[in-house]
Amino acid sequence: MMPTVLMQGNEAVVEGAIAAGLKFYAGYPITPSTEIAELCAEKLPFVGGKFIQMEDEIASMAAVIGASLTGLKAMTATSGPGFSLKQENIGFAAMAEIPCVIVDVQRMGPSTGMPTSPAQGDVMQSRWGTHGDHPIIVLSPSSVKEAYYITIQAFNLSEKYRTPVILLMDEVIGHLREAVNLDEYKDVEIFERPMPQDKENYLPYQYIENGVAPLAPFGKGFRFHVTGLAHNEKGLPTNDPKVTEKLIKRLIGKIENNKKDIVMFEEKDTEGGDILLISFGSSARACEAAMQELKKEGIKVGLFKPITIWPFPDEKLREIYPRFKKVFVVEMNTGQLYYEVDRIIKGNTYVGKINKFNGEFLTPFDIVEKIKESF
């Protein structure tokens, strides 16, 4: 039995990453994510891993991709301004299909914003931050314990689908300390990168419908090319519109068509009622507290918490929302996940917004007040 320990959210990310097999961390200091780099510097030498502090955020992302190409599980962590700088190479990882995990501990923006007050303003950036149509998986934990488990899943999904995975934390969860017992996760499955067999005919970008070819590590006798250019199955650059279209369709399809395997969510009291709250990260915690208050007032409230923000668990939401009179999307921004919810509900039910974007944490009281106003 593992003991119950007091753990910080950022620390849980590092513990989860190590449990998932993290062997390489490259980063650059930025609050409120810095504890992740500090703990990796301290712990990785003892698990056969490597830590490097790079000259900037761009280089950190690049080094992570380079390390991953040698077969190591690799991660970097940052916050808003750094997340912006990483976008270039996140796009490279998406195009070249190199597994890696990027932690974004969101803080108040835009720009330098309010260092380092809580916000959830990077929802859309995490989906579309880099240019061009590209696949991405974004996961958002709402507790310290969940941060541990979801970090493991971030690595698993990244390796399984050969894609960058963004762990969208927020300052509240990153710095929150909670008593956790990780015993229940000791047997969680860890996905290891499969090794291709045939060196002669190896196709690193073989067309596999809704899937990916195994990625050979550099230096093991598979000599292949990796590029951010549109490429054929060998990885060599192409200008052929047919090959390119097939590539982009496969890239998008490998995530879109595997949503059943990828998406994670939680629901609470979703049998039906007056109000359905949709929220994620620390705001979802505020929702849970608000629900208890509203219950006392006789208002029936349910909660839908996507853990996978992108791809959004749209099928599940379509199933749940008709059971409620009104839907509210609760988030610490001016309304970003709201757009996705609105797109899914298509005006069939009223969709309202409960937001906070002044650097203060969204409280249960904020939610209760807004819900009451709506009656």
Partner 1 sequence: MASELVERYFRKETLPNIWCPGCSNGIVTAAIVRAIDNLGLDQNNVCIVSGIGCSARASGYLDFNTLHTTHGRAIAFATGIKFANPELTVIVITGDGDNAAIGGNHFIHACRRNIDLTVVMYNNHIYGMTGGQYSPTTPRFDRATTAPYGNIDRYFDICKLAIGAGATYVARGTAYHVHQLTKLIERGISHKGFSFIEALSICPTYYGRKNKKGTPADMLKWLKDHAVDIKQGSKMDPEEFHDKFIIGELLNIDEPEFVEEYQKMLNNLKVNYK
Residues that bind partner 1 (CB under 8 A): 23-24, 26, 45-46, 48-50, 52, 54-56, 58-60, 62-72, 74, 88-89, 92, 217-221, 223-229, 236-237
Measured distance CA(82)–CA(276) in Å, rounded: 34
Measured distance CA(311)–CA(18) in Å, rounded: 25
- Nearer Cβ to partner 1, position 190 or 236? 236
What is the closest distance, in whole angstroms, from the C-beta atom of residue 112 to partner 1 in the complex?
20
- Nearer Cβ to partner 1, position 96 or 180? 96
Tally of CB atoms within 10 A around 3? 7
What is the closest distance, in whole angstroms, from the C-beta atom of residue 189 to partner 1 in the complex?
24
Answer for the pair 41, 53: CB distance below 8 angstroms, yes or no.
yes
Token reading at 82: 């750094």
Report the sign of the C-alpha dihedral through residues 312, 132, 92, 88, in that order. Answer: negative
Rg (CA), the chain: 21
- Nearer Cβ to partner 1, position 49 or 82? 49
What is the closest distance, in whole angstroms, from the C-beta atom of residue 230 to partner 1 in the complex?
12
- Nearer Cβ to partner 1, position 217 or 253? 217
Token reading at 60: 């950190």
The position carrying tokens 């990027």 is: 102
The position carrying tokens 């956790």 is: 180
- Nearer Cβ to partner 1, position 199 or 323? 199
What is the closest distance, in whole angstroms, from the C-beta atom of residue 95 to partner 1 in the complex?
10
What is the closest distance, in whole angstroms, from the C-beta atom of residue 307 to partner 1 in the complex?
29
- Nearer Cβ to partner 1, position 59 or 291? 59
What is the closest distance, in whole angstroms, from the C-beta atom of residue 62 to partner 1 in the complex?
4
What is the closest distance, in whole angstroms, from the C-beta atom of residue 221 to partner 1 in the complex?
5
Side-chain-side CA neighbours of residue 186 (13 Å):
7
Respond yes or no on whether the N-terminal peptide bond of residue 194 is cis (omega within 30° of 0): no
- Nearer Cβ to partner 1, position 23 or 162? 23
Measured distance CA(212)–CA(157) in Å, rounded: 12
* Sheet architecture: strand order including 301-306: 265-268, 301-306, 273-279, 324-331, 350-355
Tally of CB atoms within 10 A around 219? 10
